[in-house]
Amino acid sequence: MNRIRIRWMIRVCIVGVVSIAGAQSVVAQCAFDWRPGDGEPTFEYTLSAMTTWDPDGPGPLPATLVVGGAFSTAGGVPAEAIACWDGATWQPLGAGINGGLNPRVYVLTVFNGDLIAGGDFTSAGGVSANNIARWDGMAWHPLGTGMNGRVRALTVHNNELIAGGQFTTAGDVAASRIARWDGMAWHSLGSGMGGSGASVFALAVYNADLIAGGLFTTAGGVSAYYIARWDGTAWNPLGMGTNNSVIALAVVDDALIAGGYFTATCGVEARRIARWEGTGWQPLGMGMSSTSTQFPYVADVTVYNGDLIAGGYFTSAGDEIANNIARWDGMGWHPLGTGVAGNYPWVTALAVYGGELIVGGAFTTAVDNVSPCWARWGPDCARGDLNCDQLVDSADVPLFVDALLSTQPLTVCEAYTANVNGDMDCAGGPRVDASDIQPFVDCVLGGLCP
C-alpha cells in the first residue's frame, strides 16, 4: 500500500473521529511498569535462556521469542525444556530437549539461520544429541557427536559457532571448555581454559575478537583471571581480569560489559558489573550488593529503551533498592518497579521482544502479578493510547498518524502504542504499518481495543 493511499485512509479516519470529539492531542509522559499477567502458571521451573529467532529469515514470517530451561510445560502447553512465544501463545519445538538425569537448556543462539540450543541433555526431538543441537524449523539435528559436558555459552565469531561450557571434548577433539564448529566438525581454540573447576559461562565478540568469561585462571596456558580474549590465533588476558567468576557478557555502545560474582577488577572495586573500553576496567557506579545472600551476582545484561539492564541475584544497585533487576542510564542505577520476588528470586535471562523487556528466572512474582519464572516490563500504556492518558480517543489520532508516517526510528513507547494489532517484524520488534489503521479506528470509535 503506497503512502498516498495510506494518507487518504488516515484522513478519512481523522475527519470521522475529530468530528465526533474535536479533541486536541496532548502528549503525556510514557511510564514503564510490569505488564499485567493472567495469573496462570507459566513455567514450573527455572527459565535459563532466551533469544529471538526468525523461522524464515528474510521471508514474511515474524520473529518468535524462544526460551529454554528445565521446564516441561510452557503456559500449560507440554514443552520439554524449550518453547517459543509469538506474542500470544506458547508452542513446543518438536518433541523438545530431553535425555539425561535433569535435562536443561542453558543457552540459545542463531547460527546460519538455525536455532542452536546448548545445555545438559542427551537427545533432542528423539535424536541423540549430546548437550548441543540445532532446530531448522522442522526437526532437531545433532552437531557432530556433541560435547562430553554441559554447554553454557554460545556465540558466532568469524562465521563459526563458538561453544563454551564444562566439557573437555567436542566431537572427537580435545577441547578444554571451549570449541568452534565450522559447519562440518568441531575444533579446539588453542589449549582452552584451565584452573580448578574450569568452566566458560559467557561469550561475546568485541572489536572483532572473541571474549570468554567464566571460572578459570588460565587461557591457552597464559594467566587470565576469569576473562580472556581470543585474537584468532592465541588467548590473551583482558588487563588483570577480575577477582571472581564472570557469567555475563554484552557489548553496549562500544564497551564490553561483564557481570558475575566479582567485586574488583584490576584492584579497583567493581561490584558484580564492570565496563572495558579497550584499555582498562571501570566500575558502573557502586554496582550490586545484597542483604539476603552472601553471594550476589549479575547473571545477564541487555539493552532496553536506551538503558543497560542487569539481572541476577541482588537487593540493591548503586544506592537504590533493586530486587534482582535494575537499569543503568549512564549516570546511575535505578530499580524496575519493585523488581521480582519469590523463594528463589533470581533473574537468569533477559531479552527484548515486541517492544517489551522479557525477564526469565526462578522468581514467582513481579509486583503483585503471579509470574512463575517469566515476566514482562514495558510501557504502561495500552496499544492505541499514544498520548498515555489511559484513553484511546481522538486525541491519539495525530500521534498515530505521525508514528505511522515517520521516517525516523520510533521510541519504544511510540512503537508499542502505535502497533495496535500487536504484530511483530522479522527482528521481533513492533511492526507499525497500514495493518494497524483499522484496529486503531475500531478502538477509537467503538472501544474494540486489542
User: Distance between CA atoms of 348 and 302, rounded to whole angstroms?
Assistant: 12
pLDDT at 40: 58
Q: Can you give 109-140 as a three-state secondary structure string?
A: EEECCEEEEEEECCEECCEECCCEEEECCCCE
pLDDT at 95: 95
Half-sphere exposure of 404 (CA within 13 A, CB side): 27
Q: Give the DSSP per-residue string, 98-111.
A: E-SSS-EEEEEEEE
SS3 content of the chain, % helix, strand, coil (to 5): 10, 40, 45
395 three-state secondary structure = helix
User: Distance between CA atoms of 138 and 236, rounded to whole angstroms?
Assistant: 40
376, 378, 384, 387 alpha-carbon torsion, rounded to 10°: 160
Containing 32, the helix (H) or strand (E) segment is strand 32-34
Given CATH 2.130.10.10, say whether it is the number of domain 35-379.
yes
Q: Using an 8 Å Cβ cutoff, are 175 and 186 in contact?
A: yes
pTM for the full predicted model = 0.91
E runs forming strands in 168-313: 169-170, 173-174, 178-181, 186-188, 193-194, 199-206, 209-215, 218-219, 222-223, 227-230, 235-237, 246-252, 255-260, 264-265, 268-269, 273-276, 281-283, 288-289, 297-304, 307-313
Q: Which residues contact 429 (CB under 8 A, 6 or more apart)?
A: 352, 354, 355, 415
User: Distance between CA atoms of 268 and 264, rounded to whole angstroms?
Assistant: 5
User: Environment class of residue 27 by beta-carbon count within 10 Å: exposed (0-12), middle (13-18) or buried (19+)?
Assistant: middle
Identify which of 252, 260, 216 has the alpha carbon closest to the alpha carbon of residue 237.
216
Q: Which residues contact 28 (CB under 8 A, 6 or more apart)?
A: 387, 388, 389
pLDDT at 61: 82
Identify which of 353, 352, 249, 232 has the alpha carbon closest to the alpha carbon of residue 300.
249
State the sign of the Cα–Cα–Cα–Cα dihedral 262, 268, 271, 276: negative
Q: Kindly give the confidence (pLDDT) of every residue in the chain, 450 residues in length, as a single tens digit, with 9 standing for 90 and above.
A: 455 554 455 545 544 444 444 444 445 568 899 986 555 567 888 999 999 999 887 778 889 999 999 999 998 899 999 999 988 889 999 999 998 889 999 999 999 999 999 999 999 999 999 999 999 999 999 999 999 999 999 999 999 999 999 999 999 999 999 999 999 999 999 999 999 999 999 999 999 999 999 999 999 999 999 999 999 999 999 999 999 999 999 999 889 999 999 999 988 899 999 999 888 999 999 999 999 888 999 999 999 999 999 999 999 999 999 999 999 999 999 999 999 999 999 999 999 999 999 999 999 988 777 788 999 999 988 888 988 888 888 888 989 998 988 889 898 889 999 999 888 887 788 889 989 888 888 888 876 666
pLDDT at 137: 93
Residue 444 carries which side chain, given as an amino acid letter?
V
User: Distance between CA atoms of 46 and 78, rounded to whole angstroms?
Assistant: 15
Residues forming CATH 2.130.10.10 domain(s) in the chain: 35-379
pLDDT at 267: 81
User: Distance between CA atoms of 331 and 335, rounded to whole angstroms?
Assistant: 14
Q: How big is the CA angle at 132 (ends 127 and 133), to the nearest 5 degrees?
A: 50
User: Distance between CA atoms of 299 and 306, rounded to whole angstroms?
Assistant: 20
Q: Using an 8 Å Cβ cutoff, are 224 and 271 in contact?
A: no
Q: Using an 8 Å Cβ cutoff, are 270 and 262 in contact?
A: yes
pLDDT at 28: 53
User: Distance between CA atoms of 207 and 251, rounded to whole angstroms?
Assistant: 9
